Structure 1
């Protein structure tokens, strides 16, 4: 009998683990109501169903086969970095689809086809999120070209400019929800997973509890959609936010530490992030005085191992 071929051992790049890939796969394949509720806040109507129309497809996955799909994905990974790159794609895809829907007045799945073609090509070429942000003007032109070929639009140049703006504003939202690789940790990905999934009643509570304030970016996108569609935006619904002066990015690091159970890897990554952030802020010490103070405070608590005080800081 021939010996059974042994599966080649997968080498994971620094910062990418099986747990991270599992969480990313869940975000990609099983995002749902949470994401639509977040993006509804970014539309003139602020209506979840209006967001779902161009963005959803039928799914027939049970909890059992969902677990099997995730396990299969993690077990059969051949290129962990390429598999991790997909993390940001569903967010970009959905937000850009909304822009196309409002630009063309096509609030059905036809609006997503030009976006899908271009992003599928980007993923095939192994372009990560940072590459997409650098090449967004070229991608916007490609989307406009496909939209004209599809018959959605007639003025390709005008649509390319609209999609350039859409990319710029979409990336601000994505940046708040999911940091770029390799800064995307399991803890940070799990916050996004919880906020975006099907069974989340209020994703804004999830995000605020993690110190993430996405309201300014959503409001900017809402104004953009109202402008390109000629629709009057409804008065903004003011979300209840905790009264705190702590910068959201610093609070997010403290929350992520708490969610991770203060694991050694999370502590190390947090110290690196805080040190880098402090160095950047010191470029303008007067303008960044408050942020410097809170960043330095959390960094010192972390270095001294004062877990209880970090938990108190996070609240």
Structure 2
């Protein structure tokens, strides 16, 4: 299990609502506020759960999730950075910073230890920032500072991922890879993407236009040129996802792929889907030396559909 400095333990000991607890081989910051609860791994700065008091969890976590050092946990909100998905499918500007196109999917930071950078608590909210310094290496030829700020109230969950470039220009794709729970995927739809263009990763990366709301009838893996507001509608729940990005990924593995995924029960495809706030494909980001870019997402309840 990673070791922490006395400063972190002291900070959380003095916190009114947060405690550091083991989760398998990992450290988990448990937030237990009167208005909500949440669990955040320091590895990968990965939020595992967010539950307003009296409600069900807004975030899906696999029943067979494994909490191992260096291994991303299936579910929650993993941080994909400095590339999203298969590196080989990324823009040339992103690929040229990496020396190996067989590098792991979804980048470099999901399995590394982040540090608690700031913590603010009020009677209605908790806001924490976790930070990671990505050094230049034989794999990735750049340097950057990352900060993920997670803001929570009883009505809202917001994440902001800020990248500050080092001494050289930086090209990235990225995603806040959010997993959502549903009672039945067949009764689930994603509204707000009507008329948007998308790239279908399961059909030779063909570009199409969305007709009507997104429904799930088969394996789905699409990168949308998305609007700022997306509605996530399922049995008993209607959520609103807002962001400042121009791309979003909609994903469900369906039957065959679910059977091949790690940390994923064979039937779990029926109980989850992903809508990932992203900067992907043509929505890649160029950051000048010393400058910053922030990707944000906010999740809140919407009126019943």
Query: Greater CA radius of gyration, 1 or 2?
Result: 1
User: Do both share a fold (TM > 0.5)?
Assistant: no
TM-score (norm 2): 0.30
Q: Which has a greater percent of helix?
A: 1
Q: Which has a greater percent of strand?
A: 2
Bigger relative contact order (CA 8 A; separation at least 6): 1
